[in-house]
Every structure is written in C-alpha cells, then in structure tokens.
Structure 1
Amino acid sequence: MVVPGSQHAEDKMYHPPEGLQKDAHVPDFNCYLELYKKSIEEPDVFWKEVASDFYWKKPPTGHVLQYNFDVTKGNIYVKCMEGAKTNMCYNVLDRNVKDKNLGERVAFYWEGNSPDHHVAITYSQLLGQVCRCANVLKQMGVRKGDRVAIYLPMIPELVYTMLACARIGAVHSIVFAGFSSESLCERILDSQCSILVTADGVYRGEKWINLKQIADEALEKCKEKASATVKRCLVVKHHALRIKSGDVSNEPQTPWDAACDVCWEEVMGQVSEQCEPEWLDAEDPLFILYTSGSTGKPKGVLHTVAGYLLYTSLTFKYVFDHQPDDVYWCTADIGWITGHSYITYGPLANGATSVLFEGIPVHPHVGRFWEVIEKYRVTKFYTAPTAIRLLMKYGKEPLQKYDLSSLRILGTVGEPINPEAWHWYYEVVGQKRCPVVDTFWQTETGGHVLTPLPAATPLKPGSATFPFFGVDPTILNEHGEELEGEAEGYLVFRRPWPGIMRTVYGNQERFENTYFKKFPGFYVTGDGCRRDKDGYYWITGRIDDMINVSGHLLSTAEVESSLTDHGAVAEAAVVSRPHAVKGECLYCFVTLKDCREFNRTLVDELKRQVREKIGPIATPDFIQNAPGLPKTRSD
C-alpha cells in the first residue's frame, strides 16, 4: 500500500483536521497501516480482540475465520467464531443496560414526518419494548429459525421488531416500505415467512401511503401463487397514534381482517417486559435482506449472528470515530442494508445515541435536514450523494438559518459521490472543518470495505480511499490476472471478513455463480474500480446489468420484465442515463406489438405498471418508442 504524500492538481488531498486526531481511535495514517497489517497477517488475534468486548455464552473453539473462496476446490463457505454461542440482541441492549450502565442514555431520538412528532427512547425503554415484542411474536407461534417479514416505515416499532426477532432467534426479512405489493409478495414467498408485521400507513411528506392495503394485496398474491405461508399479520396503528391533523374523521380507513390481523397496541400491553434471549450458534442466521440481481429475481442475502456483530460494531466505531458524547444520524431507511448496519446494529453495539428519521429532506421545508441537525446537536452525519445533490439545488440560504457547528464528521453512502457534490458537502455543510468519509460497501459485504478513517486518511474527493481492516482488495483484468500499481478493472477481494454474506437464501448455487465463478479464488463485487498512483481506490460503476438509482441498485432485467408484461409491449430494453440528482436514472426503449400506438397515455400506463410491480424507486424517467431493438448473436 502506498503511503499518501504527493499531491496532484487533479486529485488534491485534504488532510484530517488536527483536532480530530487527539482522541481518535485511529489517530493517524501510520496507526492505520499498523492495524491493517495486523488484521491481514494475524486475523485471529485481531478479531479476538474485537470479540473480547462482547458477551459470549460459549467461546469459539477454532480459528476466528475459516473459508473457501475457490469454487474449483469445493463449496464456497465462510465461518466466523465457529463453536461460539451468543445473541445479537443481548449484545446491543442487555450488555449496554446491565454491564455498561447505559440504561438512561438515549438510544434513539425519533423524528417523525412532521417536526411536531418526536420522542426520545432510552436503552432501558428500548430493551423493554423489544422484550414485549419478542413475547408477542412467541405468542403468535414464532420460534427459532422462523422467518418474519417486516414491512414498516421508519418508526420505533421497526427497530423493536427486528431486535425482537434477533432476541428469540427468528430471522427477520425487512422489506422497504416503498416497495409494491408484488415485490413484498415475492420476498415473503421466497423466504417462506410465517408472520408479517406492518402498519396502517405512513405519510411521506404530504402523501398518505396505505401500507396495510398494500400488505393485504401482497398476501392475496401469495395465496394465488402458492399455499399461504403467512399465518398472522401484526399491525401497528402508527397513523392513529401520530395523526397528521386533529380531525380524524377525514383520515383514511384501515382494512381489517379479524381472522388474520392482530393489533400491535393491544397485544403489547398484555405481555411482560422480560424475555430471556435465545442463545444462538455463531453461524446461525440473523437476517435475510433482498437485493436486486442481474437476472431479474432479487437475491435473499443471508447474514449470520457473530460475524455481522463484530464487523458492524467495528466499522461504526472506527469509520465514524464514535465517541461517548456523539449524536449520530444516518438518514437511510432501515429497509436497506445501510439502515440495518448503521442505524440499528452498529450504533447500538457501541452504545451510541442516534437520530431515527421518518421524514424526507424537503418536508415541510427544504431546510429539514439542517433543522434536525441543530435540534439534536448532531455530530456525525451520514447520507447519500443523491440527497446532497437534491439539497444543493436550493443553495446555501436554507443552511444559513441553522447552527451546524456541532458537526464533526460527514459521511456518504450508496454510490460514488461526484466531486462537485463532495466539495459542496465539505465546504458548505461541513464548513471546511469536517472530513468526509466516502464509504464503499454492499448489501453482501455487511459493512464498509473501502473507506477513509476520519482522523487518519488524507481525502481525495470521490475516492473511497483504502480498505478497512481485514479487507484484502485487488484489481483483475478480464482474464483474471491481478493488476499492480496504477490500474483499472474488476474490483475483487482475496479473503473474507467477519461481516460478509454467507449465502443466497435457499440458493447456494446462485451464490457461488454470482460472486465466485467468474474468478475462482476471489469474491467478485460486480463493480469496476481504478487504483491511482497513490494507491487510492476509485469505484467506477457496475459492470453487470445493474443501475444505481439514488443509491439503490435496480436490475435492468427486472424492469424489462415489468414493461413486457404490458399487453402493448413486445420487447423492452433498459439502460442507464446520467441524472443530476439521482446519479443515474432509467431510460427505457420499448417495441410495441402490431397496431399498437405509442402515445402519452401508454407511457403513463407503463410507468404506472413498473411502479406497481417493483415500487416508485423503479419508475422510468424516459420511455422511448423503438420499432426495432438491436440483437446480440444469442438472441
């Protein structure tokens, strides 16, 4: 690894502020290099030191990490802390309350869609609510290994439910509450969930979304496609508790089936705040999270207990240089991996105080983000380049109304950040005193794999800089040959780290074919990468049929399939087009069947069809008539 020193006009380095280095966990680049070397050359020693901060009902019996990345040598596998027994929920809650005396510390400041809706939740309160939810799930028949689908907005009950699953050994499958009934149905069936947890609805800005109706439609689709797996539906009356206006008579009605639906508020009041954790094997599953696949069908990425605990806790601690007095805010939705790792598990494992945000950046005004930062004196702020580009459009004036002096570190996630957005973030939001940690990682990696450390790494706008501890990257050409020095090609990893995915749920063959078959011996990210003369890594974009829209990966095949399901469309092709805010957007070409007319009405129908089948995030920006699409030799 090259030690950064020289500067070039095209990639100026920004060195960490001296004030951060005094108390930082990794205070300078030499310290980073020493720890990185230890993590690669002595992984057992390195990760056992990390593990020593957590509770183990039974310690591991072998090496911390065991693995095979070479498909030619047998099945791909990764094992971490084999032989150990522990519980994720115990480590992120009970350990903080009982062992670290943090019961009265605020775990979450929940901030609703409206600034008038907010609540502070301490670690003790969080533990009590999680235990209640765990007892409710057990009363509903949920046992260790059962899958629970969660389709909730960004409300405290979402955190209660996922941690309750972790406490009793159930496997949660959270579905982003912006997905359609078809997408929810597909995920429920693939993971064979027995319980669905949802809410009556949610406001996104001024728009009311009837989640319960979407959930009911999904369950009906499940019955049509297969024997019903969901036995009961636990429903949070989120809307009733936090009404938008005083006049409830004008509010939408919630559909209700007494034979299936269970009211959250009623059953939570009938159970105990005590619930013994289920002690799990280190490699027992923790959760399934679906991510788009290049073949169209989403992949159920499976993460396990011990390795995910170690990795999310350490990446959060070091990448955000977490300190006891911090107030941390990640603006992601827990429906995505960023929310799993860096709203729930990573921060709670460190006893952090976080903001849990239900709203959107521009409601009820375009300064909402800055208002929340001032309100809670946020010190570490983690958001997506899409949000930064959106807020850039409104200029500096909305920021100048609020005091952002509490900020110490800024972070970005979801997509490479363009230099213009990086400079605005650094200079305007961070006032040239807050380092920007531009993190690269995936649903599959569980946590950051390429990232700066704020007090240690000189920054280059747009670069993810260097690997995190235990991560061993290299760049390959098309022939699988490793490229040295300054190079560009496929980003791959030589070895695992504790938080890497274990398989695709129910489909080990797809797991191996997707990530390991192309270059035996390496995990293939699916991303292109450039390494510059100073050793910095730059992500250049997807190399498969995926498009990154507002930080969310979408499969071109899945969108094409949605378009061709329309009776007027014979063929469809979907490509990426640059977008000033989203980074990329969907540009769709459609070939119509004979005698069908291409007009505005049809375009609207096609956009609506994609929204209904996948979700609003997949809505095409452009649909163009293409009387004939070019074919490859295989078509």
Structure 2
Amino acid sequence: MENDSVDEIVHEPAQEFVESTNVYAFMQEYGIDDYDELIERTTTEVDGVDESGVGWFWDELVDYLGIEFDEEYDEVRDDSESETRSVSAGASDEPASRGGPQFTDWYPGGKINIAHNVLDRHADLEAETRNRVACIWEGEDGEVREVTYHDLHRQSNKVANALEERGVETGDTVALYMPMVPEVVSILYGCFKVGAIVVPIFSGFGVEAAATRIEDSEPAVLFTGDGFYRRGDHVLLKESADEAIDEAGHVEHTIVVDRLGASDDDVDLEIPWTDRDEWWAEAVERQDDAYETASLPSDQESMLLYSSGTTGKPKGIVHTHAGALMQCAKEVYFGFDLKPSDRFFWVSDIGWMMGPWTLIGTHTFGGTTFMYEGAPDHPEPDRFWEMIDRHAITQFGISPTAIRALRKHGTRQTSSDEPSGSGEAGDDEWVEGHDLSSLRLLGSTGEPWDPESWQWFYENVGNEETPIINISGGTEICGCFLMPMPIQPLKPCTLGGPGLGMDVDIVDSSGESIADTNERGFLVARDSCPSMTKSLWSGDERYLEEYWSSWEDLWDHGDWAQKDEDGFWFLHGRADDALNVAGRKVGPAEIEGVLIDHDAVNQAAAVGVPDETTGTAVVAYVILEEGEEPSKELREELRAQVGEEHGKPFRPRELLFVDEFPKTQSGKVIRRAIEAAYTGEDLGDLSSLENPDALAALEEAS
C-alpha cells in the first residue's frame, strides 16, 4: 500500500469472540475452516458441484436465516435470455433481450412480502417477540418513545388501510419526505403491505432536489411532517414539501405527521395548508388496525431509491421484495452479528439507503433499532456517547465525516468563566466519562476514511477492542460489495474483503483482473446478487450505460479499489464525477442546474475537492451572462441558493468566476480538468481538449 499508516494490523479478534459470532456458526454448519475459504465458497465455483458459489449461497441462505416465502420459488435464479420479463415499473423504453448478470431473475416463481418477514410474524399472538421493543426513538429535545412489534404492526396496518382508501394499489409509488420520527417505520412497512413502492426522500433536501424525485416517481400520496428539531430550533418541512409538489405535480394527498405540535391551536407555529393536506391523526389513526398483507412475486418492486450520477437527473434505483430483504438481513446478521438482545443504531435519515437497510435488516430477526432525530453535537458534543451509554447500544454505525467533526471538539468547559478547549483533533474528553462497554461492533460507510480518524474511533469509542465494520456498496444494491466479517483482523481504513455472496474484483482499464497484483484499479462485480437493481426507473438504456458499458458482463461501480499484499481491500474514492459530500452523493448536474437557474448565470460547473471534515466539498465555477459583473454579494447569493435547494452540505465551499470551461470538441465540459486545476494535481491526458487556454484561466479564477 502507498500509506504506511494503514499497513499494520491493529485489531485481532479474541478467539472467544470469534467462536460466538453468527458467521462462525455458519462456517461450522457447512464445514468451512477459515475466512478465505468462506469467501471462496460463497463467491466462486463450489468444488465438486457444477454450480456457482453465489447461487449456492443465496439459496442456502433462505432457510438458514429463516426467511419465509408465501410460495416456494422454482429455482434460486434465472439468468437465461428472455424478452418477456417485466422492466421496472417506470420504464419508458421497450423491453430488451434480458438475461445474464445484467438481468438476473432471483427466486422466480416465489411469493413473498418484506412486511410479513420484518413485522407480521413477530407480532403474531403466539410470537415471543410480540411485546419486544422494535424501535427506540429519541428526539433532540430528549423525548423518548418505545414502539413494540405489536404497536408497530397495528400502526402499519392503519397506514396500509389509509393508502388503500386513497386508491393506492400494488405497483403505485408513495413518497416519504419525512423527519426521523417513529412513524417512518410504520409508513415504510405499511407501503410494503399494500405492495406500494416506497420513495424515500432525504429530509435535508431543498425544494429542487425533492421536486426532481417527485416528478420522476409520480406518487399520488406523499407523507411529510410539519417539521423537526435541529440544534434546538424548529426546521419547518411542510412548506418545502408544498413547494416541491407545486413544482413537480402528481401528489393528490399529503399526510402530515405533527412533530412540532402545529396541529394544536395553542401552538404558535405557522404551517401552510392546502386542500390536499390531512393530519396523520385524521388520515391514519382512525383506520382499522387489521390488514391482510399482500403476497407478491419475488421481483415485485419494493423501493425506489435515488442515487446521483455524473450527468443528468438522479437515477431511480429499483429494489424488489425478495432482493432487498435477503441482502439487508444477510449483512446485519453476519457482518454486524445481530443477537436477540442487541440494540442497533445507525446514524442515517430514512431518505438514504442505510435508513431502510437498518430497519429491514434488524427487524427480520425481531431485533431492536434505535433512532435519533437531531444533531450529533446538541446540546453538547457528547450526545452520541451519552445516548450509547444510556440506551446500552450494541452496534453503532456512523460516517467518517461525522467522526472527523466530533474529533475536532475541544475540551469540556467546566465553568462559565473558562474558555472552551483548543479544538485540536484527537481530544477525547467528550468521550471520557461515558460507559461505552455495551458496544460490540462499530460500523461506517459512505466514503473513505483517513487513518487518524479511524484510529481515534477505534481507540476512544471502541476501546481498542471493538471492530470497525467498514462497509461499501451502494444504493444500487441496497447493501455492500465489500464488508469485513467480525472474525477478521483489521488494518486502519480497510473494508476487509468481498461481502458474502458478492463476486467482486479489481480490474484495469481493459477489464483484466489486477486484484492480486496489489495495484489500484476499478471495483467491479462479475456476477449479480438478489438486491442488485433490476434496472433503472427510467428504463434499461440508462441502466446498461451507467453500469454495464465499460466492459462486457462486468458491473462498473465507479470506485478506485486496491487489495494489499496481506489480502486487505481498500477504496480510494470515486472514479467518476459524482460528488460524495459527507457520504451523500449528488450529481454535478444537480448543483449546476440550481446555479444556472439564477438570472445572472450562463453556465456552471461543479466539482468535488478534498475536504478535511466532509471528505469531499463542492467547488463551483460560474460563467456569467453578458453584462453581469462578479461580486462578493453575487457569490454569496449563489452559494446560498445551492444551500437552499439542495441542503447546506452541498453549498459550494468556494464559488469562482471564469469566462470559459475546458471542453471537448463535442462540447462536453471536462470536469476532471477543472478539479485538477483547482487541486494542482496532474491533469493527465487532455488531448481531446478543444480550448487548452481555459485551464490557465481556471487557475487564476477568483
């Protein structure tokens, strides 16, 4: 490896811990001796058997994990060519010849519903889990609610009945533009019960980003809230929802959860109201609490999750009931070693993949999730550590960006007359004094780590005993291509190796494997998995172009990857132009579109640059309309406009004015050249550049 600070093994799991894990029990069941054999058995050909280890694993896993199909599937998968299989529900193009890893049909002939597996069976009158707490929720203001499986079952049934009353049927989309309150769980599962396709939208998105997703998915029903708390203040969500709906159309019914008390006449809170709006209490709570969950084909769409690409509008990722359930359950059970008494906390919004991933994965086994509404440093920087202590959290997942920010907080202020601490990274006094011994595993995802922050997390939160299960995959597979197992030793920042049942590789530009050469290359998948998006909502053409066009029958994930001489896998960031800010991806075109909407802007280009706190920050370059002059006021106005439309994390760190962009002869803006001009890195091959003089102007931009 190029960085000596990640070359030393710092975590060695104790043998007693190894033998207590779920993955070790699986290995014993199937006569697998060690980690390397485990990966080989689940991702390559099975010795002596004429079948793929991928197919073998995903077939065995159904019974092993206790997944319940209403009707048994005919075979684990069918990747033969066919022109009769359905394209994603929103597809606009004609069905193509479908088969191979691009269009594998998993568990064909079977019928299943996520809601039955994560909820109904656990709320049964005779189930031991009926009165177990399914979700512990804490609001930023300190309010705590506990929801049992019985309670969640009743409320999810009410949601399902409310949806049917408004004409929602199997295959219809339902959007969630919701704060992180317990109701999001019953909304998610209520949609699954009906067979509706859930469209989660990040609550931190501004109007433009929310409208784009509503316009594309065309939901008739949208759930939202009056608002939520953030650092002690009210953040009003309803007005943004209204503006997004007005811009996008389609929504006929808006069901509003009262988080801030806006429905109370005694509360002085102005919330806009329209004829399509109903309070949650009126629309949902009055419904019957019994509902018969729909039995659906294995490949019935369950969720439409959006992920941004490098050009054009966000990609609608289509997940199925069988696929999402199997992947989430597998990863939480094996990678995070879920036990019946565990309390699982992953810091995420329901609008990001990790929100549904956490709920589905944990609730498959009747487990308990923990949800938190607010800021990680309110009222003090020890909020997470205090909650872990008080609620006895056992698994805690967080982004590297959040850990970098928490590291920077200085020492405690012991009196009103004393100044706060120095703020230097590495100060751990906010962690000290909290009992974090309940933690069994730590988790992270979203972006590459820096070794110093990984080590701080491991030492100060994990007490040099708790493994960091650093995972990477994406919205496109509702899970992970790379995931350490808790039985493995770890180096700082490593992602361990391939996830179970995930046939991944590292290739060079020609598509040849270079994983064993220890060189940096492109992360690819050589085979399908049940949770791989069945296409894109817009249809097959963009799906094939985005993921399968680089090499024949190889999924191009767009990440730089490397396996070191000891077999540890690492990632080195995105190989494409997507902006990955604090673990949240947004396409450059989305940022640029907001800037171009301003009357003074003619063209815009957004790139991602390294940032100490967020991993990546947005830098924007702007070409003004004729007659417009650059100014400090205009710069701040444009930065603020991006923040308002896409959320504060995406507000450009810098905004610079130029007269032209480097372009190819076909007119395509070369963003990598813009990024390199800003960072001072090698520009690489620019032989296709039509206007090389533009590069010098970029370096002098102000």
- Equivalent in the alignment of 1:238: 259
What do the CA deviations read for 1:537-567 (whole angstroms, capped 9, x no partner)?
A: 2111111111211001121222122222222
C-alpha separation in 2, matches of 1:372 and 1:382 = 13
Give the secondary-structure state (helix, strand or coil) at the position aligned to 2:348.
Answer: coil
Contact kept? 1:26, 1:32, Cα under 8 Å: no
What is the rounded CA distance, in whole Å, between the counterparts of 1:31 and 1:242 in structure 2? 58
Specify the alignment match of 1:522 in structure 2.
554
Point out the more displaced range, 60-69 or 439-448: 60-69
Fraction of identical pairs, as percent = 34
Check if 1:57 corresponds to 2:70: yes
Moved more, 43-52 or 125-134: 43-52
1:408 aligns with 2:440: yes
Q: Is residue 563 of structure 2 the alignment partner of residue 531 of structure 1?
A: yes
Q: CA deviation at 1:297?
A: 0.6
- Aligned to 2:472, the other structure's residue is in SS state coil
Closer, same or farther in 2 for the Cα pair 1:389/1:51, shift >3 Å? same
Partners in 2 of 1:405 and 1:269 — Cα distance?
40
Residue 483 (str. 1) matches residue 514 (str. 2):
yes
CA contact 2:72–2:110 (8 Å) conserved in 1: yes
**Whole-Å Cα distance in 1 between the matches of residues 598 and 5 of structure 2?**
52
Secondary structure (helix, strand or coil) at the match of 2:146 reads: strand
Deviation at 1:463, TM superposition (A): 1.5
Name the aligned partner's letter for residue 631 of structure 2.
N
Is residue 2:272 matched to residue 1:251?
no
Return the alpha-carbon distance in structure 1 between the equivalents of residues 347 and 312 of structure 2. 28
Within the candidate set 110, 119, 122, 2:137 is matched to 110
Alpha-carbon deviations, 1:467-501, whole Å to 9, x = none? 01111111221122222512211110100111111
Matched residue SS, 2:621? strand
- The residue type paired with residue 22 of structure 1 is E
Contact 2:301 2:318 in 1 (8 A): yes
Q: Which residue of 2 aligns with 1:4?
A: none
Q: Secondary structure at the match of 1:417?
A: coil
Unaligned 5+ runs, structure 2: 46-52, 83-94, 410-426, 668-702
- Within 1, Cα distance between the matches of 2:313 and 2:230? 28
Distance in 1 between the 2:378 and 2:523 partners? Answer: 38
TM-score (norm 2): 0.84
Task: Give the SS at the match of 2:243.
Answer: helix
Residue 550 of structure 1 contacts residue 582 of structure 1 at CA under 8 Å; is this kept in 2? yes
CA offset digits 1:428-472 (Å, max 9, x no partner): 111111111111110002112201111x11111111121011111
Q: Distance in 1 between matches of 2:568 and 2:615?
A: 22
Confirm or deny that 1:563 pairs with 2:595.
yes
Q: Tell me the C-alpha RMSD between the 2 structures.
A: 2.2
Shift, 1:399, TM fit: 1.0
Superposed CA deviations along residues 224-259 of structure 1, whole A, max 9, x for unmatched, are xxxx4222111111211899xxxx8563211112x3
Establish whether residue 418 from structure 1 lines up as the match of residue 450 from structure 2. yes
Deviation of 1:262 after TM superposition, in Å, equals: 1.5
The farther-off stretch of 523-532 and 60-69 is 60-69
Residue pair 1:608, 1:619 contacting (<8 A) in 2 also: yes
Partner of 1:20: 17
CA offsets 1:84-127 (integer angstroms, 9 cap, x no match): 00111011011223374201111111011212x11111111111
CA shift, 1:8, in A, is 7.8
Q: Corresponding residue for 2:380?
A: 365
Residues 1:143 and 1:267: Cα distance change in structure 2 (over 3 Å)? same
Q: Does 1:92 align with 2:132?
A: no
1:149-548 to structure 2, matched below 5 A, reads 149-222=175-248, 228-240=249-261, 251-257=268-274, 259-342=275-358, 344-394=359-409, 395-454=427-486, 456-485=487-516, 486-548=518-580
Whether the aligned pair in 1 keeps the contact of 2:131 and 2:148 (CA below 8 Å) is yes
Secondary structure (helix, strand or coil) at the match of 1:452 reads: coil
**Distance in 1, Cα, partners of 2:337 & 2:599:** 54
Alignment pair present for 1:597 and 2:629: yes
> How far is the alpha carbon of 1:46 from its aligned partner?
2.4
CA distance in structure 1 between the partners assigned to 2:216 and 2:497 by the alignment:
36
CA distance in 1, matches of 2:644, 2:533: 30
Distance 2:176 2:452 in 1: 37
Does the 8 A contact of 2:346 with 2:396 survive in 1?
A: yes
Aligned in 2, Cα 1:430/1:58: closer, same or farther, shift over 3 Å? same
Structure 1 residues 36-45 or 471-480, which shifts more?
A: 36-45
1:47 and 1:64 in contact (8 A); partners too: no
Supply the distance in 1 between the matched residues of 2:97 and 2:155 (Cα, whole angstroms). 47
d(CA) in 2 for partners of 1:18, 1:351 = 27
Matched residue SS, 1:608: helix
CA contact 1:327–1:353 (8 Å) conserved in 2:
yes
State the distance in 2 between where 1:549 and 1:60 align. 41
Partners of 1:72 and 1:274 in 2: how far apart? Answer: 41
Give the total of aligned pairs. Answer: 615
297-306 vs 73-82, greater mean Cα deviation: 73-82
Alpha-carbon shift at residue 616 of structure 1 (Å): 2.6
Counterpart secondary structure, 1:411: strand
**Mapped contact 2:42–2:501 kept (Cα < 8 A):** yes
1:68–1:78 Cα contact (<8 Å) kept:
no
Match of 1:136 among 152, 159, 162: 162
Write out per-residue CA displacement over residues 139-192 of structure 1, whole angstroms, 9 at most, x where no aligned residue. Answer: 111111111011100001111111100011010101011112222222112111
Q: Which residue of 1 aligns with 2:661?
A: 629
Return 386-395 or 44-53, whichever deviates more.
44-53
Worse overlay, 181-190 or 423-432: 181-190
Could you tell me whether the CA contact under 8 Å between 1:384 and 1:551 is conserved in 2? yes
Relative to 1, partners in 2 of residues 1:534 and 1:386: Cα closer, same or farther, differing over 3 Å? same
Corresponding position of 1:39: 42
* Equivalence for 1:3: none
Give the TM-score, by structure 1 length: 0.93
- Structure 1's 404 and 558: CA in aligned 2 closer, same or farther, altered over 3 A? same
Instruction: Give the superposition deviation at 1:51.
Output: 1.2
Structure 1, gaps ≥5 residues long:
1-6, 223-227
Give the C-alpha shift of residue 378 in structure 1.
0.7
Task: Give the partner amino acid of 2:141.
Answer: S
Residues 8 and 543 of structure 1, relative CA distance in 2, 3 Å threshold = closer
Residue aligned with 1:49, SS? helix
Please say if residues 353 and 475 of structure 2, whose CA atoms lie closer than 8 Å, have aligned partners that are also in contact. Answer: yes
Alpha-carbon offset, residue 634 of structure 1: 2.9
SS state of the match for residue 655, structure 2?
Answer: strand
From 135, 144, 147, the equivalent of 1:121 is 147
